[in-house]
Amino acid sequence: MDQQAGNQNAVAVKLPTFWAEEPRVWFKQAEAQFALEGVTADETKFHYVVSALDQATAKRLIELLDNPPQAEKYNTIKSRLLQSFTLSPPERAARQLNMSPLGDRKPTEMMGEMLALLGVHHPCFLFKYFFLQQMPENIRILVSNFCYGFCFYHRRFGKKARQCCPPCAWQQENDKAGCPQ
């Protein structure tokens, strides 16, 4: 293989510095970058992840960085990072309960933060209560009787919606009084 052909196969993946607060989201972005650039080699992905670690995070993984396994390097570092930085269910619950009020954030921003803390769980009636408690009283009164869980498409197009974004309660709630039809 000539030198020029070898250079054409080189890929340049630029990963953001590892997000200790949102490791799951960071790996989603990293894996999207790998897919876009066609990076499939285990060792290559491992080294890209290592290069995106900040000093404190790298220090926590020093034994793995000094002695990586022979195989499954990427999955090993991914598992270790997720295990180290993903909040436990009690920690997620505590963050939900102690979330600061709306302040200068948009309600949709707060909703996104709260949904992220749920992880794989679906919102329940307590979620609506906690969300409303973060709103100023005048807004809370206005929206307390509004039906939640409907995605953008069902709120906008009702039963004519052709797309749906989870978590959407349209299927379960569309016959209840007071909800948009």
* pTM metric for this prediction: 0.60
Same-domain pairing of 12 and 74 = yes
Same-domain pairing of 7 and 55 = yes
More confident residue, 48 or 103: 48
Tokens representing residue 87 in the block: 């909040």
The number of folded domains in the chain is: 3
Same-domain pairing of 39 and 58 = yes
Same-domain pairing of 77 and 103 = no
CA dist., res. 56 & res. 61, Å (int)? 9
Same-domain pairing of 114 and 47 = no
Domain range for residue 163?
A: 147-181
Q: What percent of the chain has pLDDT above 70? A: 78
Same-domain pairing of 20 and 33 = yes
Q: Decide if 93 contacts 119 (C-beta within 8 A).
A: no
Averaged pLDDT, 150-154: 69
Q: What phi, psi does 42 have (nearest 5°)?
A: -55, -50
Same-domain pairing of 33 and 48 = yes
Same-domain pairing of 75 and 24 = yes
Peptide bond into 180 cis (omega under 30): no
